[in-house]
Amino acid sequence: MQTLETLSFDNSYTRLPEGFFQRVRPTPFPNPHLVSVNPAAAELIHLDPNEAKRPEFAEYFCGAKLFPGSDPLATLYSGHQFGHYVPQLGDGRAILLGEVRTDEGETWELQLKGAGLTRFSRDGDGRAILRSTIREYLCGEAMHALGISTTRSLCIVSGEEIVWRETPEPGAMLLRMAPSHVRFGTFEVFFYRGQHENLKILADYVIQHHYPHLVDVENRYARLLHEVAVRTGEMIAQWQAVGWSHGVMNTDNMSILGLTIDYGPYGFMEAFHPGFVCNHSDHRGRYSFQHQPDIGYWNIRALAKAMSPLIEQAEIQAAPELYEKTMLEKYAGLMQEKLGLIETHTGDDKLVTDLLNLMDSSRTDYTNLFRSLSKFQQESPNGNSTIRDQFLHREAFDDWTARYRDRLQAEKSRDRERQIRMNQSNPKYILRNHLAQKAIEQATRHKDYAEIDRLLNLLNDPFTEQPGMEAYAIPQDSDSSPIIVSCSS
């Protein structure tokens, strides 16, 4: 196990031309203190979790001390925001400390979010608030436990600094980890500037470090684009299957590795509604739940255009179609698993669609309905009353269950075996907004961080029913005020 002083750093991004980044040191908080640390992420870089007990831990992870061998920088990128191209964005509050290389040859970039001003900050203050930091910290780990590709969360550090958003709030920094934080927008900035040599340098860098099997392949740039399309299609299919919305699917928030990145106004749906918009700032619903697959297609087209100087036209045109094919096939397979089906039969897609339409008309809780459907009994209609009672149009649901029963019998499904499979595909616990809000309020008002750690532990095992945690599977009370989440969240 490694200590803070023995982590082995590399800085491969600094070997790119200087126009790719700005070297900049983090701006530390006064009197920093640790809010929470995630042992699972520490294990990825072989960092001894006992190091979190040292006062130096908070100092290293708020930038007051630099890790030996690190070379901090902020990266340049641009992007399409709500469909409109913004020529320069970049890391305005995130600073890459460097890359930790493990003995197994894995590389993890350590990026400090909320670390202060960079030349890409525009009109921002370079800071993050404790509220948004808690949300990203928890959701990154929740998504990982659900099997969805994502950045990881190592720790939160706060200090004696107030940050202004709509109101003054405690500042905080998140240490997030990923093999790479390169985005679609990193390619776009060099394309739109006409810097095609830099575009090629970037593509070669990404291939060398993250797609090494393509290094000596003919048409490697086209293969890179196509693999990104596949990874992105699989990721968005997983979002749809768990009922999760990103909220800000701008191209600068899309990972070249197909990772879920930049958790802002995200939301897990409770009452199922295809038009669900989790971002209060998204007034036209561009990034609504039902539009995410189409926006993924749009974003792949944007990446393909940015890479067009390196790729033949036919290969460029193939990328969005490959994304779409991958996303649809992956989604169909995931929904088949959620219904406990092993075989693929004609009409399965309609069985899924009809169930979702019934859920929409009744505003049935998405997560709880699929979890309870695992208890469906083929030979005991009266035993299914707790599932039936989740619907307003119960006779219509009865018609659906008759078809579902026939479908299960067609593949000789056994209830007990199916329940076990379904409970491995349908989580019991998700990061509902009101659960995150409870942890946020305790942390911001009382500096009580116990609920953060409690949620972290719960969400690390979302498919297993945990004693005494039933309240964490209950939707927000319908009489409670809705929690408003915007881009500043």
Q: What are the boundaries of each domain within the chain?
A: 9-180, 185-337, 342-423
pLDDT over 60 at 217, yes or no? yes
Question: Bridge partners of 194?
Answer: none
CA gap 208, 107 in Å, rounded: 13
**Alpha carbon of 34 to those of 7, 37, 59, 60, 63: distances in Å?**
19, 8, 9, 11, 13
pLDDT level of residue 483 (50, 70, 90 thresholds): confident
CA gap 305, 316 in Å, rounded: 7
Rounded mean pLDDT, 56-65: 97
pLDDT of residue 479: 66
pLDDT of residue 414: 97
Active site residue 252: yes
Give me Rg for the CA atoms of the chain: 23
* Nearest one of 61, 64, 68 to 110, comparing CA atoms: 61
Average of per-residue pLDDT values in the chain: 96
Question: Bridge partners of 267?
Answer: 245
Tens of pLDDT, residue by residue over 315-360, are 999 999 999 999 999 999 999 999 999 999 999 999 999 999 999 9
pLDDT of residue 478: 72
Tens of pLDDT, residue by residue over 99-110, are 999 989 999 999
Tens of pLDDT, residue by residue over 86-136, are 999 999 999 999 999 998 999 999 999 999 999 999 989 999 999 999 999
Question: Bridge partners of 86?
Answer: 79
pLDDT level of residue 12 (50, 70, 90 thresholds): very high
pLDDT of residue 97: 98
pLDDT of residue 481: 64
Cβ-based neighbour number of residue 416 at 10 Å: 6
pLDDT over 70 at 174, yes or no? yes
Rounded mean pLDDT, 219-238: 98
Set 252, 262, 282, 365: catalytic member:
252
- Structural tokens at position 186: 């990193």
Helix (H, G, I), strand (E, B) or coil at 169: strand
